[in-house]
Amino acid sequence: MKAIARDLPETMASIPMNPCDINTDMYRSNWPDNAPNKPSPEEWVAIAGPFILGLGPEQNGESVMVPLPGYVL
């Protein structure tokens, strides 16, 4: 990612992101005991949306993780 980031124009960014776990049907089918500790898709987007929209060229090449306060990661 850092190599790509160096080649981008200043107004663009390449930012690898870990979305963390989301309580979906697939997640529940694989980890049913952990699912209640994870945000629903609606809860996740309420947190992740503003976070993602706040990313910019200053994070270019950095790895980020969606902050999920109050949830067990």
Q: Please give the pLDDT value at position 73.
A: 66
**Rounded to two decimals, what is the model's pTM?**
0.82
d(CA 18, CA 15): 10
Q: Please give the pLDDT value at position 3.
A: 86
Residue 70 φ/ψ region, left for φ over 0, alpha for ψ in the -120 to 50 degree band, beta for the rest: left
Residue 23 near residue 38 (C-beta atoms within 8 A): yes
pLDDT tens figures, 17-73: 999 999 999 999 999 999 999 999 999 999 999 999 999 999 999 999 999 988 876
Q: Give me the amino acid identity at 9.
A: P
Q: Which tokens in the block code for residue 66? A: 């969606």
